[in-house]
């Protein structure tokens, strides 16, 4: 159900951006797209920061195998 809403939202957003572009207001649509891509990038970076915080300092990433996984 979530994918249906995502696809409907994407189709609506694309049609709105196309409408603006046809009315020679393409700068507004590009500005909206830049805000959206900035939001996606920030979301991805914060997700990677959380993953780095969850890793153990010895490089073991939280796994308790009892082996040293370093290459030396």
Q: How many residues does the chain have?
A: 72
Alpha carbon 20 to chain centroid distance?
Answer: 25
Give the pLDDT confidence score for residue 59 in this predicted structure: 54
Give the pLDDT confidence score for residue 56 in this predicted structure: 54
Q: Which of 40, 43, 19, 38 is nearest to 29 (CA)?
A: 19
Give the pLDDT confidence score for residue 24 in this predicted structure: 92
Identify the residue whose tokens are 């920061």.
49
pLDDT, one tens digit for every residue, the chain (72 residues) = 889 998 999 899 999 999 999 999 989 989 988 999 999 899 888 888 777 777 656 555 555 555 555 565
Domain segments of the chain as ranges: 2-54
Give the pLDDT confidence score for residue 15 in this predicted structure: 93
């Amino acid at each position: 159900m979530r994918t249906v809403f995502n696809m409907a939202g994407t189709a609506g957003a694309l049609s709105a951006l196309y409408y603006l572009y046809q009315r020679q207001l393409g700068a507004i649509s590009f500005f909206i797209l830049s805000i959206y891509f900035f939001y996606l990038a920030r979301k991805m970076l914060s997700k990677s920061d959380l993953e780095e915080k969850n890793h153990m300092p010895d490089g073991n990433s939280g796994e308790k195998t009892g082996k040293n996984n370093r290459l030396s």
